[in-house]
């Protein structure tokens, strides 16, 4: 299938879902879906007509597809792939999208003391959940010197970034999807949509216009598949969960999942799940990973020091710990 045909098919599928949802909604709530950034993106908008909803949702999906091109680690022709290939060779010209993501990634890396580290991929690439691959201790010892967010240098004025040592690798999967979600939300608002729900593979940004009910968000139980830990109501912001139950395998009774401690290169064990609420999805996305690595005690200390950020931790013993401003958790199913 050509790229043009693939895009036309995606547009048609999204429109068909949207119109079907509109017919079932009683006029006022519309829904669309598209596969983007390696996952299912779903958008729901409220309080507008069918034509306005279709145009806004289609434009939001197109924007996510646009920013995916420079940010995809799976595309050889992406800017992030070019940056990784040039590690140790000097600055690489990058566009605004990758500059924005890398700049925020450095900020969160510093904020979390390296519990989130955009350069973790030097070690992260040694692991594989689908292949059930675990690196050896000697492999981890060899990769750890190439992890360190301070060695990612950005010159916003020149539009360049550089990984300063050979063997380094930037991994932006833990923040790029949040950026895509934020861009979708910004496009919806630019189209006059004041009530929306953007879901990118379970990472959410939402807004409820005045006079309408808050959105209800379910938080999955990390050890009871298909069940909820509880639900929260939210009028505006982003909600992202990182958990050891999302991508994992078990070997010899030990769970190996996809969230690594960048400082060791090993699987993080301080949390089972962390849900973060923030103003934007990019911040929530990166913080959810970093706070998962930090664990409840250190993580809550950080959250309480940050404006407009709340978090809910599930510890390894399945005890639940919430920050002081986290919304009331209603019983799950």
Q: How many CB atoms are closer than 10 A to CB 254?
A: 9
Residues 179 and 62 in one domain: yes
Tell me how far apart the alpha carbons of residues 271 and 247 are, in angstroms, rounded to a whole number. Answer: 15
- The reported pTM is 0.89
Number of alpha carbons in the 13 Å side-chain half-sphere of residue 228: 12
Number of alpha carbons in the 13 Å side-chain half-sphere of residue 80: 25
Give the residue from 97, 72, 92 showing the smallest Cα distance to 152: 92
Residue after which a domain boundary falls, among 171, 205, 221:
171
Residues 102 and 38 in one domain: no
Mean pLDDT of 169-179: 95
Separation in Å, CA 23 to CA 31, 57, 60, 213: 10, 16, 21, 21
Mean pLDDT of 11-38: 58
Mean pLDDT of 71-83: 97
Number of alpha carbons in the 13 Å side-chain half-sphere of residue 71: 25
Mean pLDDT of 154-180: 96
Mean pLDDT for the chain overall: 91
How many domains does the chain divide into? 3
Classify residue 101: in a domain, yes or no: yes
- 105 or 17, higher pLDDT: 105
Residues 107 and 123 in one domain: yes
295-331 confidence digits (pLDDT tens):
999 999 999 999 999 999 999 999 999 999 999 999 8
Tell me how far apart the alpha carbons of residues 300 and 322 are, in angstroms, rounded to a whole number. Answer: 8
Residues 156 and 187 in one domain: no
Number of alpha carbons in the 13 Å side-chain half-sphere of residue 165: 13
pLDDT band at 15 (very low <50, low <70, confident <90, very high): very low
Classify residue 184: in a domain, yes or no: yes
State the residue range of the domain holding 161.
79-171
DSSP state of 314: E
Residues 164 and 55 in one domain: no
Classify residue 224: in a domain, yes or no: no
Classify residue 278: in a domain, yes or no: yes
Give the residue from 118, 114, 40 showing the smallest Cα distance to 73: 118
Mean pLDDT of 193-215: 94
CATH number at residue 271: 3.10.520.10
Spatial CB neighbours of 274, under 8 Å, sequence gap ≥ 6: 241, 242, 243, 288, 291, 292, 299, 311, 312, 313, 314
106-126 confidence digits (pLDDT tens):
999 999 999 999 999 999 999
212-265 confidence digits (pLDDT tens):
899 999 999 999 999 999 999 999 999 999 999 989 999 999 999 999 999 999
Residues 23 and 151 in one domain: no
Residues 263 and 144 in one domain: no
Classify residue 218: in a domain, yes or no: no
């Amino acid at each position: 299938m050509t790229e043009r045909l693939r895009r036309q098919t995606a547009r048609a599928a999204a429109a068909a879902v949207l119109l079907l949802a509109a017919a079932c909604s009683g006029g006022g709530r519309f829904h669309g879906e598209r596969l983007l950034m390696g996952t299912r993106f779903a958008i729901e908008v409220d309080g507008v007509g069918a034509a306005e909803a279709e145009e806004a949702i289609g434009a939001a999906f197109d924007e996510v597809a646009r920013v995916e091109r420079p940010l995809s680690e799976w595309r050889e022709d992406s800017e992030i792939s070019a940056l990784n290939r040039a590690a140790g060779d000097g600055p690489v010209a990058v566009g605004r999208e990758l500059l924005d993501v890398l700049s925020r990634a450095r900020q969160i890396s510093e904020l979390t003391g390296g519990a989130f580290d955009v350069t973790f991929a030097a070690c992260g690439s040694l692991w594989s959940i689908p292949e059930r691959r675990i690196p050896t201790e000697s492999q981890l010892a060899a990769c750890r010197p190439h992890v360190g967010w301070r060695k990612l240098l950005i010159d916003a004025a020149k539009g360049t970034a550089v990984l300063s040592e050979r063997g380094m690798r930037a991994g932006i999967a833990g923040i790029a999807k949040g950026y895509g979600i934020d861009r979708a939300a910004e496009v919806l608002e630019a189209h006059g949509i004041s009530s929306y729900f953007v879901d990118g593979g379970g990472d959410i940004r939402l807004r409820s216009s005045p006079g309408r009910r808050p959105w209800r968000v379910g938080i999955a139980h990390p050890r009871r598949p298909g069940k909820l830990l509880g639900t929260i109501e939210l009028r505006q912001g982003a909600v992202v969960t990182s958990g050891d139950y999302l991508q994992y395998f078990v070997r010899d009774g030990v769970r190996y999942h996809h969230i690594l401690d960048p400082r060791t290169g090993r699987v993080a064990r301080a949390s089972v799940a962390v849900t973060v609420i923030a103003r934007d999805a990019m911040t929530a996305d990166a913080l959810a990973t970093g706070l998962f690595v930090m664990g409840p005690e250190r993580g809550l200390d950080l959250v309480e020091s940050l404006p407009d950020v709340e978090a809910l931790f599930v510890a390894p013993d399945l005890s639940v710990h919430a920050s002081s401003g986290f919304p009331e958790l209603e019983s799950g199913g």
